[in-house]
């Protein structure tokens, strides 16, 4: 029983860590967005505010996939272990 619970907790933590690999994607995406924005400001310094606003918007949209991964990781860390352990104990008590 303790071993089963330990495996559940460990796998949840591993899964959360692996879900956050998705953080690579938004990182690269936002980096390229900011790089292009810097280039644009360097070329046309007068439209700095418009470029900055658009860049922030684009970054926010690019972040979305990373945030999905974050939400899944948080669910795996804080919600899933309790659920799984409850299911385990229920089935164990049903089995006797």
Query: Using CB under 8 A as the criterion, which residues of the chain lie in contact with other proteins when the complex forms?
Result: 53, 56-57, 60, 63-64, 67-68, 70-71, 74, 78
Question: Which tokens sit at 21?
Answer: 């690999």
Q: Can you tell me which residue has the tokens 């089963």?
A: 4
User: Considering beta carbons, is residue 38 or 60 the nearer one to other proteins?
Assistant: 60
Report the nearest approach of other proteins to the CB of residue 65 (Å). Answer: 9
Report the nearest approach of other proteins to the CB of residue 56 (Å). Answer: 7
Q: Can you tell me which residue has the tokens 């690269």?
A: 28
Residue among 4, 12, 20, 5 nearest 80 (CA): 12
User: Considering beta carbons, is residue 53 or 86 the nearer one to other proteins?
Assistant: 53
Question: Which tokens sit at 76?
Answer: 């795996």
The sign one gets for the Cα dihedral 76, 82, 85, 91 is negative
User: Considering beta carbons, is residue 18 or 56 the nearer one to other proteins?
Assistant: 56
Report the nearest approach of other proteins to the CB of residue 89 (Å). Answer: 22
């Amino acid at each position: 029983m303790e071993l089963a619970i330990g495996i559940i907790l460990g796998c949840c933590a591993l899964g959360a860590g692996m879900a956050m690999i998705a953080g690579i994607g938004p990182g690269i995406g936002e980096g390229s967005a900011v790089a292009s924005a810097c280039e644009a400001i360097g070329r046309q310094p007068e439209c700095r505010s418009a470029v900055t606003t658009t860049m922030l918007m684009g970054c926010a949209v690019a972040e979305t996939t990373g945030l999905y991964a974050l939400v899944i990781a948080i669910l795996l860390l804080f919600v899933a272990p309790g659920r799984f352990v409850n299911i385990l104990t229920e089935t164990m008590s049903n089995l006797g």
